[in-house]
Amino acid sequence: MKLSGKKIIYSIRYFQFLILFFCFTCPGFLGIVQADAVTENNCVQCHLDTWDELKVSVHARHGIYCNSCHGGDPAQKDKDLAKAAGTGYVGVPDKKQIADKCGTCHSDVGVMNFYGIRTDQLAQYKTSVHGKKLFQAGDEHVAVCSDCHGYHDIVDISETTSPVYPANIPNTCNNCHGSERIMAPYGLPTNILETYRESVHGKALFEKHDLSVAQCASCHGSHGAVPPGVREAGETCGKCHVNEKKYFLESVHAKHAEAKKFSECVSCHGNHGVQHATPELYKEACQRCHEPGSPEAQQGESISQPGKILPRAGPW
């Protein structure tokens, strides 16, 4: 029987589906495949403690074992031969080596396309504050792939145990940004997590388990992490707060933000410790720029009292 081209394609796709189905839904089947591969990998025979972590990872599930990252010859039973010159062996890689090694696969469209994973992470990382300090200044204290995703036990980012699962990101960032020892050379505060926990965003994430709410990566980015500047903060907040951004651009304050006299969002609401807008916030925020009792301050206070809106006080 002669099959049409379309039927052949459907047959191939069905066969691929069956393979994936058995790999991901039948641990026994996957275990057989892994067992055969591991039998031929002498790295595992010596590093059983590491294998206990690696075997549950997303990498091992796809045949990525020790030598894929550390090099060496896994077919050799002798340690010296396994780590001999010419085998590409790297014992404990430095942070730049880690970024480059992860990028070897994760920047390869041919490798990542099958999994639907983006291939621009390394390029983005090199534009980030972390990446610039590592690649341009040789600063080994900055965060690299393994600091956020883990080492041998890396799991899919959609799993709740992943360090970069949305609910876990604040604590993961705090591993470095909460350390006085690590932050001291950069002059950065170490209380950001505590401040964030008390914010409207933090309470929504930790108490209401709302994964759509803003956390560190939502505002600073992940691989291309940068601290939003005065102008960028408004654009960053506006990605979620679309209506508020629209209204602000129609307000009397918009031209002052454009002139960089203040930050359209942060100047009034703060950044990590954002709270719900209350009458107290109006009084406190307005008086940072406007003298108490001035027409501008009175106008701001009237906004918090429905029915008492005053005429615009002037060209401010």
| Structure-token match 């940004």, residue found | 177
Instruction: State how far the Cα of 144 lies from the Cα of 262, in Å rounded to an integer.
Output: 33
What pLDDT score does 316 carry? Answer: 43
pTM higher than 0.75, yes or no? Answer: yes
Residue ranges of the chain with per-residue pLDDT less than 70:
1-39, 229-231, 304, 306-316
Instruction: State how far the Cα of 38 lies from the Cα of 17, in Å rounded to an integer.
Output: 25
| C-alpha separations of 198 from 115, 155, 183 in Å | 38, 29, 22
CA Rg value for the chain: 27
| C-alpha separations of 121 from 88, 106, 125 in Å | 24, 7, 6
What pLDDT score does 278 carry? Answer: 85
pLDDT in tens, 200-234: 999 999 999 999 999 999 999 999 988 776 567 88
What pLDDT score does 10 carry? Answer: 54
What pLDDT score does 313 carry? Answer: 45
What pLDDT score does 248 carry? Answer: 92
pLDDT in tens, 50-66: 999 999 999 999 989 99
Dmax of the chain from CA atoms?
91
Instruction: State how far the Cα of 13 lies from the Cα of 126, in Å rounded to an integer.
Output: 37
| Structure-token match 């066969």, residue found | 15
DSSP state of 157: T
What pLDDT score does 17 carry? Answer: 53
User: Please, where are the H alpha helices in 121-253?
Assistant: 121-125, 129-135, 145-149, 169-177, 180-183, 192-197, 200-206, 216-220, 230-238, 242-249
What pLDDT score does 260 carry? Answer: 82
| C-alpha separations of 100 from 107, 122, 262 in Å | 10, 8, 40
